[in-house]
Homo-oligomer: A and B are copies of this chain.
Amino acid sequence: MSASLIGLDWGSTHLRAYLFGADGKAIESRALPHGIRQLPAGGFPAAFALAIRDWPVLPVLACGMVGSRNGWQEVPYLDTPTGVERLAQHLTRLTTPTGHALYLVPGLHDPHRPDVMRGEETQIVGVLAREPATTRLLLPGTHSKWVRLRDGVVTDFATVMTGELYGLLRQHSILGAALPEARDDDEAFRDGVAAARDSGPAGALSRLFSARALMLDGVLDPASVPDYLSGLLLGEELRMALAAGWTGAGDTIPMVGEGPLCDRYRRAADVFGLHLSRAPDGTTADGLWRIAGAASLASAPTFTAHSL
């Protein structure tokens, strides 16, 4: 299979490179630790050269924070509603020192809230490639995204900083710092989720301190505080998603994300009686391929002429 495209999933902390065959399957893929906050000496060009080393010179399509203000080149956000065609029409091109034509996928901007995403738009396109009828999507992560779609177009979305808040509270707050080594405690996790669910319209921020009070009461083992806190924050995200109409009783929302995190969300959803399913892996690569196709980046066989 001749190679026809290079794809880059280039975020804050990771850089994944895909060498696509003409059928859109990855012939080879690489993971480097050179997210845009962890660049090697030589910066973006050096990281790029490492990522594509020994690969043929092909068009390159990149998504993620590489197109942010602190990225290689800033690519303006596109307002919702936006689908794959509009993304493909607004790629930004730069020429690398290695002579590659590198195209950057724009992020999305929801003017209602306002809110932004960068990288997730490509994952969403990847989901749509397999499930064109998707109308709701959850991308759990440091900054979870709840997404609404219509006819394959993202209409609006909201970011919830659950993962980042958990990290801050775990590492730096009176609740989470100075705890003994954590242990997995599913019951504490579910108790936290339930506390958030039962916090009513006041919300779980008003219950955060219960993590400390329960520990002082001897009800919550200090080693289980992290799971309780995780449950409280994931529960708050679900409570908010319900209150804001991102999900409702009877819905099944597909999730795109890492396995253990998606599993955690599914356990939290259980406590609410909600249903979250898991979308297949590989959505970013699929999305890159699909956007490249819509932009006719990888369609011409000439791209493989000077390859391998």
Pair B213/A109 contact, Cβ less than 8 Å: yes
**Using an 8 Å CB-CB cutoff, how does the interface string of A159-189 with B read, 1 for contact, 0 for none?**
1110011001101111100000000000000
**Using an 8 Å CB-CB cutoff, how does the interface string of A88-114 with B read, 1 for contact, 0 for none?**
000000000000000000000100011
Quick one: given A114-B214, A209-B143, are A203 and B240 in contact (CB under 8 Å)?
yes
Contacts of A206 in B (CB 8 A): 158, 160, 240, 244
Pair B113/A161 contact, Cβ less than 8 Å: no
Pair B114/A213 contact, Cβ less than 8 Å: yes
Contacts of A86 in B (CB 8 A): none
Quick one: given A202-B243, A202-B244, are A164 and B160 in contact (CB under 8 Å)?
no
Tell me the minimal C-beta distance from A196 to chain B in angstroms: 11
Q: Flag whether A212 is at the interface (Cβ < 8 A).
A: yes
Contacts of A294 in B (CB 8 A): none
Interface size on A, residues (CB 8 A): 42
Q: Flag whether A49 is at the interface (Cβ < 8 A).
A: no
Quick one: given A164-B173, A169-B168, A200-B244, are A113 and B205 in contact (CB under 8 Å)?
no
Pair B201/A243 contact, Cβ less than 8 Å: yes
Pair A159/B116 contact, Cβ less than 8 Å: no
Q: Flag whether A303 is at the interface (Cβ < 8 A).
A: no
Alpha-carbon gap, A240 to B207, bound state (A): 11
**Using an 8 Å CB-CB cutoff, how does the interface string of A23-57 with B read, 1 for contact, 0 for none?**
00000000000000000000000000000000000
Contacts of A283 in B (CB 8 A): none
Tell me the minimal C-beta distance from A183 to chain B in angstroms: 21
Quick one: given A203-B240, A207-B113, A209-B143, are A216 and B77 in contact (CB under 8 Å)?
yes
Pair B243/A200 contact, Cβ less than 8 Å: yes
Which residues A46-89 have CB closer than 8 A to chain B? 69, 77
* 30 A-B pairs with C-beta separation under 8 A: A69-B216, A109-B217, A113-B207, A113-B210, A114-B210, A114-B213, A114-B217, A115-B209, A115-B210, A116-B209, A143-B174, A158-B209, A159-B209, A160-B205, A160-B206, A160-B208, A161-B205, A161-B208, A161-B209, A164-B174, A168-B173, A201-B201, A201-B243, A203-B203, A203-B205, A203-B236, A205-B205, A205-B236, A205-B237, A206-B240
